[in-house]
Amino acid sequence: MVAIQNLSKSFGARTLFAGANLDLRPLARYGLVGANGSGKTTLMRIISGDESASDGQVTYPKQMRLGVLKQDQFLGDNERVIDVAMQGDREVYGAIAEQSQLMNSGSGSPDRIAELDEFIRVHSGWTLEARSAEILAGLGIPVSSQRRALATLSGGFKLRVLLAQVLVSRPDLLLLDEPTNHLDILSIRWLEKFLAAYSGCAVIISHDRRFLDHVATNILDVDYCTVTPYTGNYTQFEIQKQAVRERKEAEIARQEKIVADKLAFVERFRYKATKARQAQSRVKQIEKIEIAELPRSTRRYPRFRFEARRPSGIDVLRLLGVSKSFGDHKVLSSVSLSIRRGDRVAVIGPNGIGKSTLLKIIVGRLELDKGSLEWGHETHSGYFSQDHHDQLGEGNYTLLEWLWSFCSTQTEGWVRSQLGRVLFSGDDVLANLHTLSGGESARVLFSRLMVEQPNVLVLDEPTNHLDFEASEALVSALKEYAGTLLFVSHDRWFVSQLATRIVELIPEGYRDFPGSFDDYLAQCGDDHLDSEKVVLRAKAEEKLKDTDGESRRALELRLRDDLKKKRNRLKNLPTRRDAALLKVEELEKQLKVIDDNYALPDFYSSCGVEQLGLLQDKQRQLRDQLTDAILDWETLETEISALEQDLNLSAGGDEI
């Protein structure tokens, strides 16, 4: 679909990526990953045509429809929400608007009205409003809000409308930069299903690894100053990338050992007359061996470390009947919680349900309307706000000045070392606070929590804007933290790694579940986070409910036939997968034989130049075959996993 050839992008002396060659195919969903600042968004802007490359080209098919999620796109606040979404399909929306205007004015040409009617019909225009309403509802905007002016929605929900507009456009190529920002878990699950059924090509930047695991069929990794494609989801990509790195390191280590052995021979025998010729031969062989330099990764891991200055009492926090309303809108109703030392409480629920409000009440940033709140003995809380600017303040400070203000008795060197732990070094610490990106400002706020050493951490969406490396480092540090943790997050991986207790806010009140996130999912069964079986059954029942007896039977037969085909397909795949794995192992054995020959002390002296060339050609062929064999094996593994998941999810399908 899209061909990217020898693409490069530099800013002055800094190269983001060079020599990138990619083919973006239909039906594939590419997760675009890399460290913050590595060039992900720049690459997406080049693909969309919003930015030029330093070298290379991007080739598109003729008349390709492009859909791009732009966070800064203008939205008309006075327009209805449904109209803004429908405008995603510009041609059809324009035709409907023109036809309506001509018919209402009574002065339109019948031929023109008929022409517009035909255009609308051919392009499924009469379903545009229904499609738009369905997408808006899936993104958490109820029908009751869809006929209101856009101005009635908050900023986060306006971005959902913008996402809906892009999805309505039916693009051939869909470019989404952080589409899960400002989405709750319900909407993220809906988006996952939408993208799974999407028939075009999608490129998605996301720091939600579970989202990428569910959505991505391929990964584009921006690292080592290039863009490398991988097959599979994010978890499979991590395994593959590590394996590739280890193979390269092993190859370099092998070559270094060969050189070291030859140098040792030379040093030992260079002055011995009977061995001088052999020593000189080895010197020439060493000169011909090129040891590749392993490039440095652009991925950097902060060194978060949270320590409690002193332990708190056993009883940390008690909420009794806490309620909060904004005007007529009740957000929290009679929430009662008792949190003890060492608890790791995750507060989850859809957007607008009151999660951030609850945390703000707990840390004293909002007054409660009813109920009581009591902190325990020797508790000292540290708060991380979802709105970073809320905590960074309005002052014109550098990073160094701002952090130093929270530990004024320390030396400048000590403060610099704390900023260095969160990846700010040298003149970086003299940057103005208000020039920081979202990920940078998050790391600065964590540095404050590190120096203040609270024994209770209250975190509101801490992984927003963090790249994978920072998220992993944060999880590792919080696992080591000896204090109490209370946090809000829509990142399911983050919640599953840390929570020992789940508090779910719901319209009727709240649920308090003592256990891990996985335990919570197992207990709820039909939870909205991972309710695959329930969703599948509900969709099937909905289809059957609206059909008569004859069509119902036809649908039953079709569903059964689909299941039968999948089962038959699955029967043969394990055999092919095992054969592919055997081929991988056989090729690895053949390569090992060649590697072992290289390591023999007299190999180069007994092997002629022509024979050595043939052996090197054979080695290259085997490596190419091994790469193809591994790809075949991984493709079969992925297909088997997908079919097994489909059949497991359809466990109730034969009962339909």
pLDDT of residue 538: 42
Q: What CA–CA distance (Å, rounded) separates 447 from 426?
A: 16
φ, ψ of residue 127 to 5 degrees: the values are -100, 0
Closest CA to 587 of 556, 632, 642: 632
What's the gap between Cα 173 and its chain centre? Answer: 19
Hunting for tokens 């695959």 — which residue is that? 532
The full set of domain ranges for the chain reads: 2-222, 239-288, 315-529, 549-655
Q: Which residues pair with 509 in a beta bridge?
A: 506
Question: Tokens standing for 543?
Answer: 């289809």
Q: Which CATH number fits domain 549-655: 1.20.1050, 1.10.287, 1.10.3470, 1.20.950?
A: 1.10.287
pLDDT of residue 629: 77
- Residue 244, Cβ neighbours under 10 Å: how many? 14
Q: Are the C-beta atoms of 92 and 57 separated by less than 8 Å?
A: no
Question: Tokens standing for 492?
Answer: 């399911």
String of b and e for 42-61 (b: at least 16 CB within 10 Å)?
bbbbbbbeeeebeebebeee
Closest CA to 161 of 137, 127, 185: 137
Is residue 270 helix, strand or coil? coil
pLDDT of residue 44: 92
**Domain 315-529 CATH class label:** alpha beta
Closest CA to 181 of 439, 552, 523, 542: 439
Q: What CA–CA distance (Å, rounded) separates 563 from 35?
A: 41
Instruction: Provide the angle, in degrees to the nearest 10, between the axes of the packed helices 438-452 and 412-421.
Output: 130
Q: What CA–CA distance (Å, rounded) separates 500 from 301?
A: 25
353, 414, 425 from 410: Cα distances, Å: 42, 6, 18
Question: Tokens standing for 62?
Answer: 């003729």
Is the pTM higher than 0.85? The answer reads: no
Residues 6 or more apart whose CB falls under 8 angstroms from that of 271 comprise none
pLDDT of residue 404: 94
pLDDT of residue 529: 44
Containing 457, the helix (H) or strand (E) segment is strand 456-460
Containing 587, the helix (H) or strand (E) segment is helix 549-599
pLDDT of residue 344: 96
pLDDT of residue 609: 67
pLDDT of residue 74: 55
Question: Tokens standing for 121?
Answer: 């019909």
φ, ψ of residue 343 to 5 degrees: the values are -65, 145
Question: Tokens standing for 389?
Answer: 């600017």
First-residue to last-residue Cα distance in the chain: 39
Containing 497, the helix (H) or strand (E) segment is helix 492-498
Do the strands 501-506 and 509-513 form a parallel or antiparallel pair, or are they unpaired?
A: antiparallel
pLDDT along the chain (656 residues), means of 10: 91 89 93 88 92 92 86 69 90 87 77 85 86 89 86 80 89 90 80 89 91 93 92 92 85 84 81 75 79 77 93 94 88 92 92 89 93 94 90 86 93 94 92 86 94 96 89 95 94 92 88 88 58 41 46 59 71 80 82 75 69 76 77 71 61 38
Q: Are the C-beta atoms of 415 and 400 separated by less than 8 Å?
A: yes
Task: Please classify residue 183 by burial: count the beta carbons closer than 10 Å to its beta carbon, then call 0-12 exposed, 13-18 middle and 19+ buried.
Answer: buried
**Domain 2-222 CATH class label:** alpha beta
Closest CA to 353 of 488, 204, 483, 527: 488
Hunting for tokens 């006929």 — which residue is that? 147
Q: Are the C-beta atoms of 505 and 353 separated by less than 8 Å?
A: yes
Hunting for tokens 């031929």 — which residue is that? 111
pLDDT of residue 539: 44
Question: Tokens standing for 86?
Answer: 């429908």
Q: What CA–CA distance (Å, rounded) separates 564 from 557?
A: 10
Residues 6 or more apart whose CB falls under 8 angstroms from that of 401 comprise none
Two domains, one topology: 315-529 and 549-655: no
pLDDT of residue 389: 83
Structural Rg of the chain based on CA atoms: 30
Is residue 25 helix, strand or coil? coil
Q: Within 13 Å of residue 343, how many CA atoms lie on the same side as its CB? A: 25
Hunting for tokens 């693009």 — which residue is that? 171
Q: Are the C-beta atoms of 431 and 398 separated by less than 8 Å?
A: yes
* DSSP 8-state assignment for residue 149: B
Residue 320 amino acid letter: L
Q: What CA–CA distance (Å, rounded) separates 129 from 86?
A: 6
pLDDT of residue 641: 67
Q: Quickly list DSSP for 331-386.
A: EEEEEEEEEETT-EEEEE--TTSSHHHHHHHHTTSS--SEEEEEE-TT--EEEE-S
φ, ψ of residue 500 to 5 degrees: the values are -110, 0
